[in-house]
Amino acid sequence: MPFKIYFFKTATITMALLLWSCDCHRHAEGVVLDAQTQLPIAEVQIVNDRDFEEGITSQLILTDSTGYFEYSDISGGLFGCPDLVLVFSKRGYKIHRLNLSENNGYQIDTVFLEQ
């Protein structure tokens, strides 16, 4: 009987650690510029594609006056981190989708929006 209890506890702890370690921290940062003028664009709305399609704004972030932004989230990824698709939108500009992957470290330098 003690072996079964020991085995059950060990298996439970191992599964908990395995599931806990499957979370992916995704972080992206960069600057949003006007494609024509090359000037920074303030208050561009940035959200992940899934939330954009569902109209969820709880993770909505805005660029600052220099066009700078930082986006972070945690996503499950049992066999690797899933791609991150960010949607950039602002009235007067075309919506821009950017697909980032774990392979490139979710790196963004500059995003250009077209009017």
User: How high is the pLDDT of residue 107?
Assistant: 67
Q: Tell me how many domains the chain contains.
A: 1
**3-class SS letters over 35-87:** CCCCCECCCCEEEEHHHHHHCCCCCCEECCCCCEEEEEEEEECCCCCCCEEEE
Residue 18 inside a domain? The answer is: no
Domain assignment present for residue 97? The answer is yes
Residue 31 is encoded by which pair of tokens? 């600057």
Show the tokens assigned to 27: 């972080």
Residue 8 included in any domain: no
- Position 58 in a domain: yes
- The DSSP bridge pattern shows strands 68-76 and 23-34 to be antiparallel
16 — pLDDT class (breaks 50, 70, 90) = very low
Q: What is the mean pLDDT of the chain?
A: 78
More confident site: 98 or 11: 98
Average pLDDT over residues 24-51: 89
pLDDT on residue 19? 46
Q: Of 37, 52, 30, 60, whose CA–CA distance to 97 is shortest?
A: 52
Domain range for 76 is: 24-113
Q: Which CATH number covers residue 95?
A: 2.60.40.1120
- Most trustworthy range by pLDDT among 13-22, 23-32, 97-106: 23-32
